[in-house]
Each structure stands twice: as C-alpha cells, then as structure tokens.
C-alpha cells in the first residue's frame, strides 16, 4: 500500500504542474513576450510582407484573354492588375483616362472618326521597355479581322485536310477593331492615332488589356511589327500571339499594371507582387495571392481559418448563413451583370400574336419569383425592367409600363380580344387548339426549374397552359436553332453597349443571336445612330428606345439580375464589388490593416 | 502483359465515345453576346468538332502513341498538368496508405490472435465507425474541429479545469482497467488497478506538462490548414518547408488513413482467423513450435496473400485520386484533375483520355505487382 500511495502522490503532483502550466495560459509570460517583441520591432522594422489572399474557383490559364480559346473570367481577375489600357472603368461603367498609362485621349475629328492617344512618357513595362504605340498596333492587328486566312508562299490559300482555310489570328471578337482603318505612331512612339471607317461609340472599350508587343517581337523574331509585314513574319507574330501567352513565364509575362506576376503553380496558387516599375500610385499591399479553391463550399472554412482573405463564391442560402456566422468578416451583395429573362419565340403559332405575348407578360408575377427565389439570398434583389442598362447605371429606365406588375384581368381580356375562348378545363383555346406553351430551359438547373414552376402556376390563373421543357443541350443546340416556345436563360450585360446589337437586330441584319425571329427595321436605324453618337447621354437614350421597342413588342421579359457575393476578412480594407471586371478591379487599393 | 494493349485500346475507345457525346464544349461561347458565327466555326474546326467520331479518335490515338497528349480546350498542354496531378496524389496516397497498411495489418493480426478480447471489440468498433463515415461529412467535421477550433486553441493555449478533470478520469480509469486485468490474470489481486492508474496518470501528466511548456514558448499561428497541398509561399528553410507540408497534409491524410485503415484491419483479421484455424497451423503447434513462430511464419505469411490482392488493387485505384477528399481539401491531385476535366465548363476529351490512360495503366501495373508479391508469399509458387 505504501508503494501505491507514493506513486499516486507523484502522479498527482506531476499532473498538478501540468494543469497549472497549461490552464493558466501563461498570463505573466505574455507580458514578457510582448516586451521582447517590441524591442525586436524597434531594432528592425517589420520585414514581413503584407499579403492579401483571394480564393479563386477557376484557374488562370492565359495572359491573352482576347484569344478565342483562352478567354476566361478567371484570367480577367488576374489581368486587371497586370495589363495596361488607356481607360479605367468604374463599377457603374463610367470611365476615366488611366493617368499612369495615358495622359490624354481625344477625339480629333468625327468625320472621319479619329482618336488620338497621348501616352504617359514614363509608362513602362516591368522589364523597363516603354509602353508605347507598338502595343496598340499589336492589339489592332490581332483583332481587326483583316487577315482572313493563311496563304502559302505562292499566294494560294492554305487548307487543312478537310479543305477548311486556316485562320491567322485566333481572336475571340473583332467588334470595334474591324472599323479601325489605321493605327499610326508618332516619331517618339508615345502618340497613337487611330482612324475609323465610321464612328464607333464604344471606342473607349477598345485597347484595354494591352499585351506587350516588344515581347511578341522578341519571341517571334520579327524586328518591328508596326512596319509592313511579309506574310511569313505576320504568321510568326500571330503564332506567338495565339499560343505564346498561355500559362506563365517570367521572361514573357511582363506587367504594365500595379502588380507583376511572380509565380504560378498550376492547381495551387498564383502570386502577384508590387510592380516596382509601375508609374502610378504604388499598390497598398505587397502581395496578392490567388489561391485555388475549386469547391466553393470549402471557401467559408478557409476564410474562417485565415487561409484566404477575400472570397466571391456563387451565393446560396447555406453559404451565406455559414459566412455570416464567422466573426471578423464583412459581407457585401451586388446585383451583377448577368440577368435572367424569358424569350418569346415569334415563330410559335400563339406567340406570333402580340396580344398573346402581352398576356404572358401580364400573367407573370415577377415580384413573386424574385421574392421567392432571389430575396432569400439577397434581400435587396429587385425585378429588372431594362435589358441594356443595369439599375446601378445612371441611364437605367423602367420601360415596362402596365406590364410591370401581374394583372390577370388584363391578360384575360387581351386573350379574349385575340379571339381566344376559355374552355371548360380552365385554359383558353382558339380554333380548337389549347393555348399551350413550353418553357424551355437548360437541365439540370434547380433554380430555373423553380422559376418555371412558379410561372406555370401564375399563368394558369390567366388560362394559359405552360409546361416545363428542360433539356441538357438547350442552350447549345435548341436555343440557337430557335426550337422553343418560351426560353429561360441569361444574358451578360456589357460595358460596350453595341455588344447587345446581335441580340436585338433582325436576324438577317446582324442579329446573330436574335433567335426569337423578331424583326423590326427601326432597330437597325436606332443602333446605327446610337453607335455613331458620341454623347453618352444621347446614346443611352437611343438604347433605351431600343429597349422600349422590345417592351412594346414584348419579345423578351427581363426577370432579375444574378446576385453576387463578396466576403472579406475585416483586416483587408477596400474590397469593392464590381461585376464587370470582378473583385480584383481595385486590388491595388486593398490594404491589410492590422497584423 | 500483352493483354494490356487491347485493354488500353478498349478503355480509350469507350471513354472517347462517352466524352464526345456528352455536352457541347462551345456552349459558353455560343451564349456570349457579340461572338460571330465565324469565330464559333473557327473553334469547331480547331477542336475538330466537325469531324466524324472515328476520325477524331484516330487523330487522338495517333498523337497519343507518339507520346503527345495534346492540348486541352483552354490551349494548355495536358501532360504537365497531369504529371503535377500525379505527383500531388502520390504524395497524399503514399503517406496515408502506408500508414493505413501498417496500422491496419498490425491491428488485424492482434484482432485475429486475440479474438473476442477487449482489444478486438474496441478496434472492431472503431473500424466500423471509420468504415461507415461519409467522407465528405467527416472531412468537413475535421476542418471545424481539427483545424479551425484547434487553431483557435493554439492561438491561446489553455485547458479548462473541467476538461483537465475529465481527461484525468478518462486516462487514469482506462489505465486502471488494463492494469487490473493484467494483474488479475497473474495474481487475482483485488485493487491492483491503482498502481497502473498511477503510472498512467504520471505519464499523462508528464506529456501534458511538456506539451504545455512547448506550446507556450512557440508561435504556431493557425498551424493546421484546411486547403491546398503546400504552403502558398514556399519558405526558404528546409525545416519550415517540412512544417508547411505537414500543416497542409495533416487533415487529408487523416481522412484517407481512417477509411483505408478500417478496410485493411478487417480483411487482415478475417484472413488471420482463417489461417489460425487451418490444419497447417494446428500441425505447427503440434510440432511444438513457439507461438510467435506459429503466428508470424505460418499464419501471418499465408494470411497476407488475399491482402496483397486487395492492397495492390486499392493502390491502383487510388492513383485515380481520392475524388472527394481532394476536392474538399483543394488538393490538386488526380481526382481534382478528373472533375475539372469533366465539367469545367464541359467535358475535355484530351484531358479525360489522358487521365483514363494513366489510371488504366496504373491498374494494370499494380496487378503485375500483385503477381510478383504472390510469388514471394505463396509457398506453392515458391516451391515451383
């Protein structure tokens, strides 16, 4: 027994020591440590770099976002901070000359339309080569669509095995650049003169995200790409432009923005560091890290654990609850540029009658849809009443008129006026045919399914029979083929207003995405005069007239903007939503406050 | 060996057929405003979407046999991405599987030898818990308790009196139980557990004290990470690098270990039991061989034969990635590579084909390894 009591006493005393040591958490020691830390801090100023970490869901792939196979929003998020351009766009789409790059930009004459860019004499790339005229020439050459197909040395067209001609540039879009007839450089290369074949009102959106032309010249072995080029040299340049900017290489991926890319580990992370050559105000934080977190549901935990500082996941109710519960995190909602809408197909035997289309517009209760499916995420989500301007724009105008709210009586009287009779089953018929419409949508998409279910119930009250019509290939096959009665999908609003033209112009006159078989010649005249109008307010008015025409003919019914979510640790200040350019649009102003 | 070639061919053909018939790679481009038909047509030609199936397949196969896996839809070469995914998966899988195999086999052997003992019951219980854990849920639970809460604790370490008392009771109690049992076996002396409780408590006390002192003098920050396979900014010193890898690897390794360990220990136990009841073991005992020799040479060795099949097959499968674990922990391995190729934004034939080829080859390779292992283990093959 003696032995036992000894052992127990020994154990108890040891245990007591352990508990005292761990439980008291060392309150006295903390003071000591703090003192030593302070003295260290005085001796040598904090060397630890400040870092802001953004959780990216999609991976950066390429520096050249203008190439058809490389264009990605994930790239935009990175390139916002790297590639220079003459204009800086604010979240509300207003713009100003980006002073570190260009000192002044002027429209010299309107007929012919000539724009003059005077570049900042001090503007340089991070390898200390000047940002100058050749960068503009490269952008124009790559996107003007003039080099149709590749020729061999004897001047005949090269073909692949199937007899397809080979494109020179793999450009995503030639809009705007195709109107530029020449880009000329001044002697000192710092003044760029662009002349257009006709006025292009969205000219400010051109030449954003310039690629370094001197790199293209060096890597392709062509000495001067602003000169007249032989086909051989042209193809060398195009080859590098098409594929040379994929991934990351410190030698070629130089920066003309506030940050410079210093590391890219595929699948892991991408690091931007402050660009020492940047001509503007130095970026507030030393490093911005893009950390790959492909599964958005894992982002809140990482935010809580301090592994990431800024996240922008697609919002849903669970995610928002989870983020709201984290201490020290601020949450912002923004109504984005992507908006849902219903498209009515005029080729349909019922919908070809304007009164039937209006009846559909009258029976839909958009407020209920927004309230049920969108306000649970973002309480300030609102019904959208314009297809061209989003509510944060100063030019937003509600053209819905009497169709802004659900009106069952109006729907019914419109149908009766159109010769429909209410049948015993509660649905209208005409000539023995029930007014029955399919609601096409992409499958699977639970939210759109719910949207359709609500619409079906709403329009049943007005005697219109609707059925959900999901298809996996709806967006890619059936939509472009016009195989639908009513389609539910989303468009992306653009800073360049003329990007909308292909949706609303008649199909035969440039309306490549007008799948509703809607054709109003007024639209041609209106877009023509709008796109040659340089005064912003007048132009916006013309575009609002186009939107009004769509309301009048009730071809599409806008529903609501998709909500965007921005969450950041409170130690990072300056995170401002921007759904056009993405959250990193002002990353150079993000500041790490404490720690 | 020769069968590998038609096997790979069939796998690639089937995969190619499935991939080209699932989804439109240009969907995102088609619904973007301001994209002309010509550009969409150019992309179709570039990706070969306009060509018939057989031709597309032969183009792919032609470049694959010459060692070229081609470019993905986003214009990036496939092989470097796949190679990096393989490396990350191997790092995770090798550590977790080796641990699981070692621990699983050991527990399986003891469970088999001491069937229906306290140890057997408790390990069986734990194995079944691990076996039935939904990976996704377990991983997220680990993130909350193993990373976030644990890091909170590390930032201001301390143990509340309640927890301390509970720990004391728990650890002291279990030591007392074990001790009692051992003493009883020999002497059947009542109250013998006390000494053992004392030893248990002093050991716990010592380790907690040293841990407390260690923790208090160190800056851990938020040590355990919930995401990624390596530190985002690699440290310069070797020691810090290793710590970085540990911090990132800890949770996913625990998850994979728990799942695999459960399987191995159960199979090993069953296999061990079968051998221990076999005639040759009875024979060995009858010859008067020592118990350790009977267990290790005669039972264990033969019990390993079915385990070799299971383990090699499971290793082959693990090269394909632990999809859920990798996804949850943003571990850029094969599983993540596969998901990304499948739906970002649409199935990517070159990536998926490369993935299938590598995993199929790995499965075949590990089957060969299994054959080699049989040759070492199976006395019948050895005799030949």
What is the arithmetic mean of pLDDT over A409-418? 94
Is residue A174 within 8 Å of A48, Cβ to Cβ?
Answer: no
**pLDDT given for residue A37 in this prediction:** 40
**pLDDT given for residue A23 in this prediction:** 44
The separation between CA A168 and the C-alpha centre of its own chain, rounded to angstroms, equals 27
Range scoring the smallest mean pLDDT among A308-312, A572-576, B210-214, B216-220: B216-220
Q: How many helices (H) and strands (E) does chain A have?
A: 16, 21
Angle value at C-alpha A99, between A94 and A102, nearest 5 degrees: 100
Residue A109 DSSP SS3: strand
Range scoring the smallest mean pLDDT among A313-317, A541-545, B36-40: B36-40
Running DSSP on this structure, what letter comes out for residue B77? B
**pLDDT given for residue B322 in this prediction:** 81
Residue B375 DSSP SS3: helix
Q: How far apart are CA B173 and CA B198, in angstroms?
A: 10
Cβ-Cβ contacts under 8 Å between A and B: the total is 222
**pLDDT given for residue B236 in this prediction:** 66
Phi, psi of A90 (to 5 degrees): -85, 165
B158 to A18: CB separation less than 8 angstroms, yes or no: no
pLDDT above 90: residue A255:
yes
Query: Which residue, A340, A213, A292, A313, is CA-closest to B228?
Result: A292
Give the ranges where chain B is alpha helix by DSSP (H): 4-20, 27-30, 37-47, 53-65, 78-113, 118-132, 135-142, 150-155, 161-186, 193-216, 238-276, 279-286, 291-293, 301-319, 323-328, 334-343, 349-377, 379-383
DSSP notation for A448-495: HHHHHHHHHHHHHTTT-EEEEEEETTIIIIIHHHT--SEEEEEEE--S
What is the arithmetic mean of pLDDT over A281-297? 91
pLDDT above 70: residue B79:
yes
> Which among A269, A289, A301 is the nearest to B143, CB-wise?
A301
pLDDT tens for residues A330-383? 999 988 888 999 999 999 999 999 999 999 999 999 999 999 999 988 888 999
Beta strand A486-492 pairing with A436-442: parallel
Residue A114 DSSP SS3: strand
**pLDDT given for residue A160 in this prediction:** 67
What is the arithmetic mean of pLDDT over B74-79? 85
pLDDT above 60: residue B29:
yes
**pLDDT given for residue A48 in this prediction:** 75
pLDDT tens for residues A105-134? 999 999 899 999 999 999 999 999 999 999
Phi, psi of A55 (to 5 degrees): -85, 110
Sequence-distant (6+) residues with CB within 8 A of B61 are B12
Phi, psi of A438 (to 5 degrees): -95, 135
Q: How far apart are CA B218 and CA B115, in angstroms?
A: 45
Question: Which of the listed ranges A25-29, A302-306, B150-154 does the model predict with the highest average pLDDT?
Answer: A302-306
Q: Across the strands, what pairs with A467?
A: A438
pLDDT above 70: residue A594:
no
Average of per-residue pLDDT values in chain A: 87
Phi, psi of A269 (to 5 degrees): -160, 165
**pLDDT given for residue A161 in this prediction:** 63
Please report which confidence band the pLDDT of residue A21 belongs to, taking 50, 70 and 90 as the band edges: very low
**pLDDT given for residue B340 in this prediction:** 86
Whether the upstream peptide bond of residue A106 has omega within 30° of 0, thus cis, is: no
**pLDDT given for residue A395 in this prediction:** 92
pLDDT above 70: residue A260:
yes
> Which among B51, B159, B198 is the nearest to A11, CB-wise?
B198
Range scoring the smallest mean pLDDT among A153-157, A576-580, B108-112, B332-336: A153-157
Q: Across the strands, what pairs with A116?
A: A106, A193
What is the arithmetic mean of pLDDT over A81-105? 91
Average of per-residue pLDDT values in chain B: 83
B230 to A268: CB separation less than 8 angstroms, yes or no: yes
Minimal C-alpha gap between B345 and chain A (Å): 10
What is the arithmetic mean of pLDDT over B374-380? 82
Which B residues in the span 164-193 are in contact with A, Cβ-Cβ below 8 Å? 164, 168
> In the sheet where A113-119 sits, what is the strand order?
A102-110, A113-119, A191-196, A180-185
Q: Across the strands, what pairs with A288?
A: A52, A272
pLDDT above 50: residue A31:
no
Give the burial class of B123: count Cβ atoms within 10 A of its Cβ; 0-12 exposed, 13-18 middle, 19 or more buried. Answer: buried
Helix (H), strand (E) at residue A157: none
B332 part of contact set with chain A, CB < 8 Å: yes
B344 to A496: CB separation less than 8 angstroms, yes or no: no
What is the arithmetic mean of pLDDT over A290-315? 91
> Which among B34, B230, B337 is the nearest to A175, CB-wise?
B34
The residue of chain B with its CA nearest to that of A498 is B34
Which A residues in the span 251-280 are in contact with B, Cβ-Cβ below 8 Å? 266-269, 271
pLDDT above 90: residue A221:
yes
Q: Extract the tokens encoding A359.
A: 């009846």
B161 to A19: CB separation less than 8 angstroms, yes or no: yes
Of B308 and B177, the one with more pLDDT = B308
**pLDDT given for residue A38 in this prediction:** 40
Is residue A143 within 8 Å of A227, Cβ to Cβ?
Answer: no
pLDDT tens for residues A126-152? 999 999 999 999 999 999 988 888 888
Of A167 and B211, the one with more pLDDT = A167
**pLDDT given for residue B239 in this prediction:** 77
Please report which confidence band the pLDDT of residue A35 belongs to, taking 50, 70 and 90 as the band edges: very low
Q: Extract the tokens encoding B342.
A: 């499948």
Rounded to whole angstroms, what are the CA distances from A301 to A306, B139, B142, B164, B309?
9, 12, 11, 28, 39
Give the burial class of B25: count Cβ atoms within 10 A of its Cβ; 0-12 exposed, 13-18 middle, 19 or more buried. Answer: buried
pLDDT tens for residues B154-205? 777 766 777 777 877 787 777 777 766 666 555 555 555 667 777 777 777 7
The residue of chain A with its CA nearest to that of B153 is A25
Query: Which residue, A501, A515, A524, A557, is CA-closest to B33?
Result: A501
Q: How far apart are CA A220 and CA B75, in angstroms?
A: 19
Is residue A80 within 8 Å of A585, Cβ to Cβ?
Answer: yes
The per-residue b/e assignment along A496-535, b for 16 or more CB within 10 angstroms, e otherwise, is: bbbbbbbbbbebeebbbbbbbbbbbeebbebbeebbbbee
Query: Which residue, A13, A15, A22, is CA-closest to B171?
Result: A15
A494 to B327: CB separation less than 8 angstroms, yes or no: no
B226 to A298: CB separation less than 8 angstroms, yes or no: yes
């Amino acid at each position: 027994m003696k032995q036992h009591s000894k052992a127990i006493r020994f154990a108890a005393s040891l245990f007591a020591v352990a508990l005292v040591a761990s439980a008291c958490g060392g309150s006295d020691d903390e003071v000591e440590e703090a003192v030593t830390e302070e003295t260290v801090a005085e001796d040598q100023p904090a060397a630890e770099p400040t870092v802001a970490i953004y959780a990216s869901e999609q991976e950066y792939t390429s520096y050249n976002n203008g190439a058809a196979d490389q264009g990605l929003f994930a790239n935009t998020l990175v390139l916002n901070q790297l590639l220079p351009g003459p204009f800086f766009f604010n979240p509300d789409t207003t713009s100003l000359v980006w002073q570190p790059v260009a000192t002044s930009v002027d429209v010299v004459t309107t007929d012919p339309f000539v724009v003059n860019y005077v570049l900042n004499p001090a503007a340089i790339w991070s390898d200390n080569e000047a940002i100058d005229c050749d960068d503009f020439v490269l952008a124009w050459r790559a996107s003007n669509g003039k080099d149709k197909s590749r020729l061999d040395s004897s001047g005949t067209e090269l073909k692949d095995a199937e007899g397809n001609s080979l494109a020179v540039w793999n450009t995503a879009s030639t809009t705007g650049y195709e109107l530029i007839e020449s880009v000329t450089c001044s002697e000192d290369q710092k003044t760029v003169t662009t002349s257009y074949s006709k006025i292009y009102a969205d000219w400010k959106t051109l030449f954003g995200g310039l690629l370094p032309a001197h790199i293209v010249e060096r890597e392709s072995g062509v000495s001067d790409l602003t000169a007249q080029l032989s086909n051989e040299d042209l193809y060398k340049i195009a080859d590098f432009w098409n594929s040379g900017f994929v991934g990351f290489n410190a030698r070629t991926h130089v920066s003309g923005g506030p940050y410079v890319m210093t590391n890219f580990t595929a699948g892991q992370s991408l690091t931007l560091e402050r660009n020492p050559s940047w001509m503007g105000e130095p970026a507030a934080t030393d490093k911005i890290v893009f950390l790959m977190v492909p599964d958005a549901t894992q982002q809140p935990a990482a935010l809580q654990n301090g592994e990431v500082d800024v996240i922008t996941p697609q919002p849903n109710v669970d995610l928002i609850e989870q983020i709201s519960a984290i201490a020290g995190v601020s949450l912002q909602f923004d109504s984005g540029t992507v908006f849902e809408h219903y498209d009515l197909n005029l080729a349909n035997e019922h919908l070809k009658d304007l009164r039937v289309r209006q009846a559909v517009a009258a029976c839909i209760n958009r407020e209920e849809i927004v309230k049920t499916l969108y306000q649970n995420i973002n309480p300030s989500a609102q019904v959208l009443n314009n297809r061209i301007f989003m509510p944060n724009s100063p030019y937003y105008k509600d053209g819905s008129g009497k169709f802004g709210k659900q009106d069952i009586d109006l729907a019914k009287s419109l149908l009766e006026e159109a010769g429909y009779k209410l049948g015993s089953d509660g649905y209208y018929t005409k000539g023995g045919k029930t007014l029955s419409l399919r609601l096409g949508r992409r499958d699977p998409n639970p939210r759109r399914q719910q949207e359709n279910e609500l619409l079906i119930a709403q329009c049943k009250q007005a005697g219109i029979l609707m059925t959900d019509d999901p298809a996996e290939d709806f967006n890619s096959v059936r939509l472009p083929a016009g195989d639908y009665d009513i389609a539910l999908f989303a468009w992306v609003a653009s800073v360049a207003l003329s990007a909308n033209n292909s949706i609303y112009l008649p199909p035969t006159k440039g309306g490549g995405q007008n799948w509703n078989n809607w054709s109003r010649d007024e639209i041609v005249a209106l877009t023509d005069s709008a796109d040659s109008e340089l005064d912003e307010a007048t132009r916006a008015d013309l575009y609002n007239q186009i939107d009004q025409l769509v309301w009048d003919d009730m071809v599409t019914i806008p529903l609501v903007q998709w909500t965007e979510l921005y969450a950041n640790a409170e130690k990072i200040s300056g995170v401002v939503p921007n759904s056009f350019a993405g959250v990193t649009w002002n990353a150079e102003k993000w500041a790490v406050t404490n720690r | 060996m020769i069968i590998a070639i038609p096997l790979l061919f069939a796998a690639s053909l089937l995969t190619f057929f499935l991939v080209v018939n699932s989804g439109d790679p240009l969907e995102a481009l088609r619904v973007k405003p301001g994209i002309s038909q010509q550009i969409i047509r150019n992309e179709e030609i570039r990706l070969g979407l306009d060509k018939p199936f057989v031709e597309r397949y032969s183009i792919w196969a032609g470049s694959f046999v010459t060692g070229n896996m081609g470019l993905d839809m986003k214009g990036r070469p496939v092989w470097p991405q796949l190679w990096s995914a393989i490396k990350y998966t191997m790092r995770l899988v090798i550590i977790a599987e080796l641990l699981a195999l070692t621990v699983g086999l050991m527990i399986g052997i003891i469970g088999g030898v001491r069937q229906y003992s306290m140890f057997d019951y408790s390990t069986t219980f734990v194995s079944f818990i691990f076996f039935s854990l939904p990976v996704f849920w377990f991983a997220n639970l680990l993130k909350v308790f193993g990373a976030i809460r644990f890091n909170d604790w590390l930032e201001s370490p301390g143990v509340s009196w309640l927890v301390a008392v509970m720990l004391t009771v728990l650890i002291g109690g279990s030591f007392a139980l074990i001790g009692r049992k051992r003493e009883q076996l020999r002497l059947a002396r009542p109250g013998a557990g006390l000494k053992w409780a004392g030893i248990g408590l002093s050991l716990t006390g010592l380790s907690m004290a040293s841990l407390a002192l260690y923790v208090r003098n160190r800056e851990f920050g938020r040590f355990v990470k919930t995401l990624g396979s390596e530190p985002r900014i690699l440290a310069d010193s070797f020691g810090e690098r290793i710590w970085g890898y540990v911090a990132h690897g800890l949770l996913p390794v625990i998850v994979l270990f728990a799942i695999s360990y459960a399987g191995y220990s159960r199979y090993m136990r069953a296999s061990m039991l079968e051998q221990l009841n076999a005639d040759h073991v009875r024979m060995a005992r009858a010859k008067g061989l020592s118990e350790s020799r009977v267990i290790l040479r005669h039972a264990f060795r033969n019990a390993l034969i079915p385990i070799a099949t299971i383990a090699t097959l499971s290793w082959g499968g693990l090269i394909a990635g632990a999809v859920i674990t990798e996804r949850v922990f943003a571990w850029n391995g094969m599983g993540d590579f596969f998901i990304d190729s499948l739906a970002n934004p649409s199935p990517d034939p070159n990536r998926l084909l490369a993935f299938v080829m590598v995993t199929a080859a790995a499965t075949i390779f590990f089957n060969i390894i299994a054959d080699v292992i049989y040759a070492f283990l199976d006395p019948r093959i050895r005799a030949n």
